[in-house]
Amino acid sequence: MDQEPWLDAGELAAWVRLAAVMELLPGELDSQLRRDADLLHFEYFVLAMLSEAPGRTLRMTELAALTTATLPRLSHVVRRLEDRGFVRRTPCPEDRRATNATLTDPGWAKVQEAAPGHSAAVRRLIFDALTPEQVGQLREIADAVLARLDPGADKAAVYTRYDGGGDGTARSG
């Protein structure tokens, strides 16, 4: 049986750096949001996805898909957000077996409060370190890796929803 070859020196150096980014970035985003808005990054992401939905409402299954969360994880987080008055859950009028999550007015205010600081942190941590050419390369690299991670593009709505605008007005997630 043939063994897969080890990573070469260049691949290993790139992989270790990517792994470090994947480990360090979530903590940095959580720290900023916790300090500035008393939210975790995933909580902010849930609120942001609801803020962009028609009527600020999504079925829980759709919200789970947009946030790449399992339904149990999302349900737990939405319950915490609901306890804080940021989200309201109600039966879906079209399918009483489904549940809708709706961003409340206090939830909308929380998104508006948190978004500027979060966007500034993303800019400081990622984009200020890159040239415009590298930003394009980062997108191309992410697209190439996503094609392997999501070959059927089942989760494409998560990572292509801001494509085409290019005007710099999209909020960060």
* pLDDT tens-place string over residues 48-92: 999 999 999 999 999 999 999 999 999 999 999 999 999 999 999
Question: Which pLDDT score is estimated for 157?
Answer: 82
| Structure-block tokens of residue 44 | 């902010």
pTM as predicted? 0.87
* pLDDT tens-place string over residues 10-41: 999 999 999 999 999 999 999 999 999 999 99
Q: What percentage of the chain exceeds 70 in pLDDT?
A: 94
Q: What average pLDDT does the segment 158-164 reach?
A: 86
Whole-Å CA distances, 87 to 43, 79, 110, 114, 161: 11, 8, 11, 16, 22
